[in-house]
Structure 1
Amino acid sequence: MGTIRKIVEGVQFPMLTLVAGHNGTYRRVTGINVVESIDLIMFCRPNELVVTTGINLSSDGDSLEQLVKLAFSKKVAGFIINTGPYIPNIPDSVISFANEHDFPIFLMPWNYRIADLLKTTFQFIANHHQELSIEEKVLYNLLFHYKQNANYIKDQLTLLGFPQSRELAIISCTTNNVQANIDRYEVMIQFAFQNRYKRFLKLKHKNHLIFLIDKAQINTPNTPFSKIVEEIYDKITQKNGYLDIIIGKGNFHKELENVRKSYDESLTVIQLAKLHNNRFLYKYKEIGAYKIIMAVQNQTLIKSYSQDILGQLYHYDELHNTDYVQFSRIFLEENGSTRRISERLFIHRNTVLYKLKKIETLLDMDLSNPFTKTNLYIAFLIEDILAHQ
């Protein structure tokens, strides 16, 4: 994919000179938009280049600075100022803002035509649409081929703004429905993460959007990650009428060889959130007892534990065509509330009490005992993990 760096280093854009925001050349370029009024900035999309001649701006320079700041807030890739009769020079305040925020500003002299710039940019985007960007290649190799490319990856990450010894983590996003495409949500997710993180790398892999983030480059450290995810979920639900994606984050790791572990952790979160239809499970460190169970090497031990607890229920259900295993799950999910179980299953409260008494008899356990509930809950966790390994 095309980036600002490729525009600077290539030969297609002799009309452009990068005058500020040199540390922002990692930004992707997916489009271009001519904006001659502050009111029109609302139509810009993330990763577009914005071009202006200043024809409708006031001559005091404040309007241009305001336009640049608004464009930056829209997460555009960079800003091209066509200097001439309407903007003789780029104000120092614009240069300072761009350098402070790593926001690329290009100067284009008046003798170059915007029509030619648009044509060249469209060709540039088309030529780079299918190829992996440097950022995507680095992240791909970091996750799947680190040992073979360790030194190269370390050097490239440093150039991309991820110095060594930083705490890095992976966020994975995918759809609930395997037939749905995550691409339709890419702009929305990326916009949210651009507000959250100063810098990140992104990779599309097997209908997953994968983001590499740096703990030291969080713009909103006082806002929980869960709130960012919920805002994304709410926007998608408002748009579709239903929620069709799931987002999971792995732990932060200092060692680059462990970033793959963070990726696997993010996938575990997604798997468990799908399994339990739990949109409120976001981070690997929040998966609780699952983490302990998955760390147990003795598979025979955990299988026997689950069988000892649930085996009698399964046996009875099979012989009598009952549903006591599923009912036990619902009992735990509703925290033992007979009222909520009754409402959820549309059955009388007396039927709920009868079923609970039958389960206690079959298990020879007291379901009002917290220790019994814990054992039953762990047995189901083990069953879920074994079923999806």
Structure 2
Amino acid sequence: MSVICRDLLPLKYFERIKLVAGQNGLDRTVTWPYVGQTSTVSQWVHGGELLFITGIAHSADKLADLILECIQKKLAGLVILVGNDYINSIPEELLAQADAADFPLFEMPWDVKLIDVTREITDLIMRDKFEIKKSKNFLGRLLFASDVDYRQMLDTAIINDIHLLEYKFIAVFNVSHPADEIMTDAGHDSLEDKLQHSVDSLCKEKQLPVITLVYGNNVICLASAPTQEKAAEAAAYLETVCGLLSQLYSGSNLYLSFGRPYADVEQIKISYQEAQKALLLWKKMGRSNHIVYYSQLGLYRLLFKIDDKEEIREYYHYNLGVLLQHDSKNNSELLETLRQYLYCNGNLVKTSQALFIHRNTLLYRLNQIRDLLGRDIDDALVRLELLSSIVAKDYLEE
């Protein structure tokens, strides 16, 4: 996971550096230490840097402008050197400004060697990047390698200090790019990279141990917990993360799917396959709720286990074939009408709203469906068979 401001506090050379404002922002990610040499920094930073400046030639007004600039550029925080040759203390109005924005503001005694502090932060960031790389390689091999020695993988996890708790599951964040976002400019993170970074940061804030990996349009997340109950809590938190990211990246379509939790490390791949199946099926069905659990798919889980796909095809054609033929010849929407009617438990008002049609239009279509099928679509067993057939059709077309 990424280094955050909070991780700096226990460092040897950081212990004399005092947090004076912005405590609620200590979970901001630190990408690099940067020593500012100019009165403005926007053109020199990307975001995420921890900025170090002296108080020389900085009036209170200039410092206020600089803090605002740092906040707008999404820097991790600001460290101001204080002392007789700099400024004796940071003005109260600047502390209030930083607190209001949850922007970490530190003061550093002039006699602390800046080179020691920045080198220690850099070393921490580089070690963190190395640990992240090891974790991602571990997860990638678990999921995609064809010749995995799971005993060796467990040894690798222990050697590399990769902690996997008793129950392990995969969650997949899937993102659809906005229509105007064709490709990522060189030097800029992709949307998936940004999502991964956000997931890592939010999980670290919650102290939820996860390993994430970008794969295509997916951010794959391996989470683990000591009990089934804690695994359910971890999944619920990832749902919360999905909601936050959906707001943050509102121009994109974000889905979240879950595989089941397993105790054995070799079953992590099964959990991933389950999450992928659930994701593909859910997107095909176009459900308004973008979060799906494989464990809650009901009949679809049985279909996933049937190897004879032709038998499934014959089953749904037997029950729905006449509607499919009618829709194909007449460019009608009888099958979709039946689907929504069954989804809405036969409620005419809800069905017409779901289809955006008038109630009389719905009644006309339902009469057509009854005539073509020659069956009572208000009979519970008939409804069950028709809905099962629609489910089977969706499954084969996922």
Equivalent residue, structure 2, for 1:45: 28
Matching residue's letter, 1:288: G
Q: Map 1:333-344 onto structure 2 (within 5 A).
A: 333-344=343-354
TM-score by length of 2: 0.65
Equivalent residue, structure 2, for 1:36: 19
Quote the offset at 1:46 in angstroms.
3.9
Distance 1:219 1:324 in 2: 43
Give the direction of change, closer, same or farther, for the CA distance of 1:111–1:346 in structure 2 (3 Å limit).
closer
Secondary structure of 2:292's match? coil
Match among 196, 210, 225 for residue 200 of structure 1: 210
Alpha-carbon contact 2:32-2:121 (below 8 Å) kept? no
For residues 61-110 of structure 1, the C-alpha deviation after alignment (integer angstroms, 9 at most, x for no partner) is: xxxxxxxxxxxxxxxx9xxxxxxxxxxxxxxxxxxxxxxxxxxxxxxx99
Alpha-carbon contact 2:172-2:276 (below 8 Å) kept? yes
Quote the offset at 1:242 in angstroms.
5.5
Matching residue's letter, 1:253: Y
Match among 268, 277, 290 for residue 277 of structure 2: 268
Distance 2:348 2:330 in 1: 23
Quote the offset at 1:134 in angstroms.
1.1
Q: Map 1:294-305 onto structure 2 (within 5 A).
A: 294-305=304-315
Give the direction of change, closer, same or farther, for the CA distance of 1:139–1:122 in structure 2 (3 Å limit).
same
Distance 1:354 1:242 in 2: 38
Give the direction of change, closer, same or farther, for the CA distance of 1:195–1:223 in structure 2 (3 Å limit).
farther
Q: Map 1:1-389 onto structure 2 (within 5 A).
A: 36-40=19-23, 42=25, 44-46=27-29, 113-118=113-118, 121-122=121-122, 133-145=133-145, 147-159=147-159, 160-162=161-163, 166-177=166-177, 181-196=191-206, 198-216=208-226, 223=233, 225-226=235-236, 228-241=237-250, 244-278=253-287, 279=289, 281-388=291-398
Distance 2:223 2:229 in 1: 11
Secondary structure of 1:252's match? coil
Give the direction of change, closer, same or farther, for the CA distance of 1:138–1:284 in structure 2 (3 Å limit).
same
Quote the offset at 1:157 in angstroms.
2.0
Greater Cα offset, 312-321 or 34-43: 34-43
For residues 21-51 of structure 1, the C-alpha deviation after alignment (integer angstroms, 9 at most, x for no partner) is: xxxxxxxxxxxxx763143552651466999
Equivalent residue, structure 2, for 1:70: none
Matching residue's letter, 1:366: D
Greater Cα offset, 230-239 or 356-365: 230-239
Distance 2:366 2:129 in 1: 59
Equivalent residue, structure 1, for 2:99: none
Secondary structure of 1:168's match? strand
TM-score by length of 1: 0.66
Gaps of 5+ in 1: 5-15, 19-33, 54-76, 78-108
The root-mean-square deviation of aligned C-alpha atoms, in Å, is: 4.2
Secondary structure of 1:282's match? strand
Distance 1:374 1:243 in 2: 35
Distance 2:213 2:230 in 1: 23
Matching residue's letter, 1:144: F
For residues 153-187 of structure 1, the C-alpha deviation after alignment (integer angstroms, 9 at most, x for no partner) is: 111223435368x3211111120348762223334
Matching residue's letter, 1:45: R
For residues 291-329 of structure 1, the C-alpha deviation after alignment (integer angstroms, 9 at most, x for no partner) is: 001111222211100110111111122233322122222
Percent identical residues? 20
Distance 2:229 2:20 in 1: 29
Gaps of 5+ in 2: 5-10, 34-49, 53-75, 77-108, 182-190
Give the direction of change, closer, same or farther, for the CA distance of 1:303–1:173 in structure 2 (3 Å limit).
same
Distance 1:47 1:273 in 2: 36
For residues 337-382 of structure 1, the C-alpha deviation after alignment (integer angstroms, 9 at most, x for no partner) is: 2112223434332221121111011111111112122111111211
Matching residue's letter, 1:114: L
Distance 1:230 1:150 in 2: 30
